[in-house]
């Protein structure tokens, strides 16, 4: 009988490795099939299909519900990563969990490989730092606009009594085009967008805020945007794109889609009109006010004459 020399330790180690990586694969699939993760990845892809996310442009964050956290927790990393100070504070978000796109990641890749392109972060008990608990594999970080998103979540939670959960930033071409030819004020942008399409005043009756061109990614643009988001659920970033907030993925994407469509209509109508804003026909202010009255919506009176 041959003398076979089994190395049981190596065999056991190899078997454990195989089982561990199989378990990781199964966990990843289970995680990526949770409803809020599917909604999130679908929205990333929706924006990509609209042409709003060239290269690593745009970002998305979602404030998870307690139910989302309970469903996702079994798949969290065994050991969370280090706490990272954000440079901004959101006391009303202490202990919250967010799903976020990754810094430098491409929206077009999110659906293919969520675990490398998005991740869940936990906020500390003072609302000043985050740590990654799932996803963002191989050293990835949350979007560089995370401080902006975080401050805006904080403002929107206060403004909507906790209803708003989604913050979305996209490089919407119509809005960028408008920022070359329309004065950079809330009133100038809002009136023109409302007048483009009957639906607009119903979808964003408060109007839109406008942030002049600023360096992205820092606390200054975060603060300027969050000041506007106390009043509006959408802010224009001049020569950059759009910032939108809402209670869920459908409403937030729908809001960005409506604003951007109106902006594209404005640019096209103005070009077709020889560059002039002297329209032959348009929705009058009385029409905007009457629409809101009939839909039982409070229009922002500051923007109608
Ligand atoms: Zn951007």
pLDDT in tens, 166-212: 999 999 999 999 999 999 999 999 999 999 999 999 999 999 999 99
**Which of these, 185, 198, 218, lies nearest to 302 by C-alpha position?**
185
**Residue 85 lies in domain:** 31-144
229 contact partners, CB below 8 Å, separation of at least 6: 152, 155, 156, 159, 209, 235, 243, 245
CATH number at residue 39: 3.40.225.10
- Taking CA atoms, 194 is separated from 15, 187, 250, in Å, by 63, 10, 21
Which stretch of 42-56, 215-229, 246-260 has the lowest confidence by average pLDDT? 215-229
Query: How many angstroms does the Cα of residue 198 sit away from the middle of ligand 1?
Result: 28
Query: How many angstroms does the Cα of residue 170 sit away from the middle of ligand 1?
Result: 6
Instruction: Provide the percentage of residues in the chain whose pLDDT is more than 90.
Output: 87
Query: What is the side-by-side order of every strand in the sheet holding 59-63?
Result: 84-85, 129-135, 118-123, 97-101, 59-63, 166-170, 241-246, 234-237, 209-211
**Which of these, 122, 127, 126, lies nearest to 154 by C-alpha position?**
127
**CA–CA gap between residue 26 and residue 119 (Å, rounded):** 17
Query: How many angstroms does the Cα of residue 20 sit away from the middle of ligand 1?
Result: 38
Query: How many angstroms does the Cα of residue 54 sit away from the middle of ligand 1?
Result: 10
Give me the pLDDT at residue 12, please. 87
Contact between residue 247 and residue 241 where contact means Cβ atoms under 8 Å apart: no
Query: How many angstroms does the Cα of residue 101 sit away from the middle of ligand 1?
Result: 12
Tell whether the model's pLDDT for residue 119 goes beyond 90.
yes
Q: Is residue 149 part of a domain?
A: no
Residues 179 and 123 both lie in one domain: no
Query: How many angstroms does the Cα of residue 145 sit away from the middle of ligand 1?
Result: 8
Q: Is residue 154 part of a domain?
A: no
Residues 184 and 281 both lie in one domain: yes
Tell whether the model's pLDDT for residue 4 goes beyond 80.
no
Q: Is residue 157 part of a domain?
A: no
Residues 110 and 179 both lie in one domain: no
Residues 94 and 204 both lie in one domain: no
Do β-strands 234-237 and 209-211 pair in parallel, antiparallel, or remain unpaired? parallel
109 contact partners, CB below 8 Å, separation of at least 6: 116, 117
Tell whether the model's pLDDT for residue 3 goes beyond 80.
no
For the stretch 35-75, pLDDT in tens is 999 999 999 999 999 999 999 999 999 999 999 999 999 99
For the stretch 95-109, pLDDT in tens is 999 999 999 999 999
> What confidence category does residue 23 fall into, taking pLDDT thresholds of 50, 70 and 90?
confident
Query: How many angstroms does the Cα of residue 236 sit away from the middle of ligand 1?
Result: 11
Residues 174 and 290 both lie in one domain: yes
Give me the pLDDT at residue 82, please. 97
Residues 191 and 267 both lie in one domain: yes
Give me the pLDDT at residue 2, please. 56
Give me the pLDDT at residue 271, please. 98
Q: Is residue 25 part of a domain?
A: no
**Which of these, 66, 73, 43, lies nearest to 167 by C-alpha position?**
43
Q: What's the total number of domains in the chain?
A: 2
Query: How many angstroms does the Cα of residue 7 sit away from the middle of ligand 1?
Result: 56
Residues 254 and 221 both lie in one domain: yes
- Taking CA atoms, 159 is separated from 180, 208, 238, 263, in Å, by 31, 15, 24, 26
Q: Is residue 132 part of a domain?
A: yes
Active site residue 277: no
Query: Of 127, 144, 161, which marks where a domain is finished?
Result: 144
Q: Is residue 225 part of a domain?
A: yes
> What confidence category does residue 28 fall into, taking pLDDT thresholds of 50, 70 and 90?
confident
Tell whether the model's pLDDT for residue 269 goes beyond 80.
yes
- The first and second tokens of residue 33, run together, are 């099939």
CA dihedral 71, 246, 239, 263 (to 10 degrees): 130
Residues 190 and 96 both lie in one domain: no
Give me the pLDDT at residue 13, please. 87
Query: How many angstroms does the Cα of residue 230 sit away from the middle of ligand 1?
Result: 21
Residues 211 and 126 both lie in one domain: no
> What confidence category does residue 5 fall into, taking pLDDT thresholds of 50, 70 and 90?
low
48 contact partners, CB below 8 Å, separation of at least 6: 107, 108
Residues 287 and 173 both lie in one domain: yes
For the segment 262-287, the average pLDDT, to the nearest whole number, is 97
> What confidence category does residue 265 fall into, taking pLDDT thresholds of 50, 70 and 90?
very high
Set 20, 32, 112, 145: catalytic member: 145
**Which of these, 81, 114, 73, lies nearest to 97 by C-alpha position?**
73
For the segment 125-154, the average pLDDT, to the nearest whole number, is 96
Residues 77 and 191 both lie in one domain: no
Residues 209 and 263 both lie in one domain: yes
């Amino acid at each position: 009988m041959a003398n076979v020399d089994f190395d049981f330790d190596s065999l056991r180690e190899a078997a454990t490795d195989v089982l561990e990586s199989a378990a990781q694969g199964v966990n990843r699939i289970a995680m990526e099939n949770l409803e809020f993760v599917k909604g999130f990845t679908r929205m990333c892809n929706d924006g990509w299909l609209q042409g709003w996310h060239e290269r690593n442009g745009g970002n998305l964050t979602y404030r998870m519900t307690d139910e989302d956290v309970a469903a996702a927790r079994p798949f969290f990393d065994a050991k969370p990563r280090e706490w990272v100070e954000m440079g901004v504070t959101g006391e009303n978000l202490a202990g919250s969990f967010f799903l976020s796109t990754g810094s430098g990641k491409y929206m077009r890749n999110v659906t293919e490989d969520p675990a490398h392109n998005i991740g869940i972060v936990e906020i500390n008990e003072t609302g000043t730092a985050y740590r990654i608990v799932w996803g963002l594999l191989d050293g990835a970080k949350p979007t560089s606009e995370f401080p902006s998103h975080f401050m805006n979540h904080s403002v929107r939670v206060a403004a909507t009594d906790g209803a708003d959960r989604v913050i979305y930033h996209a490089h919407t071409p119509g809005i960028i085009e408008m920022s070359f030819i329309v004065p950079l004020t809330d009133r100038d942008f809002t009136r023109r967008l409302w007048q483009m399409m009957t639906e607009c005043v119903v979808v964003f009756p408060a109007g839109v805020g406008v942030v002049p061109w600023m360096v992205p990614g820092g606390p200054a643009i975060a603060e300027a945007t969050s000041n506007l988001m106390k009043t509006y659920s959408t802010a224009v970033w001049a020569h950059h794109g759009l910032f939108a907030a809402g209670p869920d993925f459908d409403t937030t994407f729908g809001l960005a889609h409506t604003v951007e469509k109106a902006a594209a209509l404005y640019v096209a109508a103005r070009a077709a009109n020889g560059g002039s804003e002297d329209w032959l026909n348009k929705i009058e202010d009385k029409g905007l006010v009457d629409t809101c009255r009939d839909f039982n919506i409070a229009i922002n009176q500051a923007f109608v004459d």
